[in-house]
Amino acid sequence: MWTPNVTEATSATEVSPELLKPLVAVVATLGKLGATARDVPLAKPWGSLRAGLLNFSSGVREAMRHRHGEATRLRRTLSAAAQPTAEGPGVPKATAVAIACEWLKAVASVEAAWAKLKVEAAGLKDACEVAAAAGAAAGATAEATVGHLMGAVALETEARGGFLRATHLLPMTLEPTEVVEVVAAHDARVAEAQSGLQEASKATEEAAAAAVAAVTARERGRQAAVAHELLGDLVVACDGAYHYYCHLQRRVKDIEAMVAAGHSPEATQGDPGIPKGLAEAVAVAEALWGASACLAQEHLLGTLRVVRGLLSTGDTTEATAVAQRCQDATTALPGLLPKGLS
């Protein structure tokens, strides 16, 4: 029975539950973004903050849904290979090498997915920084545009009064010889007053549109600034997740090399054909690989579905539930690693 003592071969930092925290932090930060971010327009290719975050969360979901059977297959294959039969080892060495290679490819695929997500998060962060700067600039002119609007309204009010006065300047009684001349002058005054009112009304509409645009841009800039700060946290969390799988990939690379070399010094007690170092390395790597898969399946993927609902609908009623579920996931981390590894 293969029961290696892994505690002597690893340090606490190599198998610490702390290594898994960035995976939780990614989902928790997405939850905060879903609860606070509005549909802020962003430059291409993002389109908007919500659209970018929805697309990003799909990538997170795919990265977390990794397979983890290769590790167990390798352990069982090595155990079988260590049980000699009359014909020789139970499993050809080439089979163990192929399984180790498959496992390494699976880990490398997840590592590459997190590397891409880290870049995407940084891109969203940069886009929000641009939007926040534009909003700040708009905010600086918002007061001026509101003042301009008030001035335009005052001018329109004055023009409207002038128009009303012009329409009442025609005398009630006129001599026949005066009618044509007086009516012509009256019509000219009315036309001039009407033209002035139309120009003033147009100026008011333009000022109002400019004021609304400036205030809206200022608010979007404020929202982009909030998102920018949270996206900074997301970049850090993605970097941590990426390094988790880098750490695991280095371990699996070593395992593949050991399996390919076929060394058997200092065999594991009870399994004379398995090097002690190889047995311990496989046990640790399998635990780390399985822990991340278990964390995703039991805690994070379900929470991520709720987060996507927040992003899709803008309904923030589930925001507290997301935070609590992420806290529960953090609390569960030590239990995801077997005793002796955490």
Structure tokens at 271: 């399994």
CA distance readout (Å), 211 to 104, 111, 135, 247 = 58, 48, 13, 53
Q: pLDDT band at 7, cuts 50/70/90?
A: very low
Kindly report the pTM of this predicted structure: 0.76
The confidence score (pLDDT) of residue 53 equals 95
What is the average per-residue pLDDT within 230-246?
96
Q: Per-residue pLDDT for 202 more than 50?
A: yes
Other C-beta atoms lying within 10 Å of the C-beta of residue 170: 14
Instruction: Decide which of 275 and 257 is more confident.
Output: 257
Q: Per-residue pLDDT for 229 more than 50?
A: yes
The confidence score (pLDDT) of residue 68 equals 63
Q: Where are the domains of the chain?
A: 6-140+217-336
Q: How far apart are CA 289 and CA 252, in angstroms?
A: 10
Q: How far apart are CA 307 and CA 27, in angstroms?
A: 8
What would the pLDDT profile of 53-88 be if each residue is shown by its tens digit? 999 999 999 999 886 666 778 877 777 766 655 455
The highest-confidence range among 112-121, 216-225, 273-282, 315-324, by mean pLDDT, is 112-121
Q: How far apart are CA 90 and CA 82, in angstroms?
A: 7
The confidence score (pLDDT) of residue 157 equals 77
What would the pLDDT profile of 259-275 be if each residue is shown by its tens digit? 888 754 444 444 445 66
Q: Per-residue pLDDT for 204 more than 60?
A: yes
What is the share, in percent, of the chain residues with pLDDT greater than 90? 37
Structure tokens at 32: 């905060």
The confidence score (pLDDT) of residue 276 equals 75
CA distance readout (Å), 284 to 96, 113, 338 = 17, 22, 9
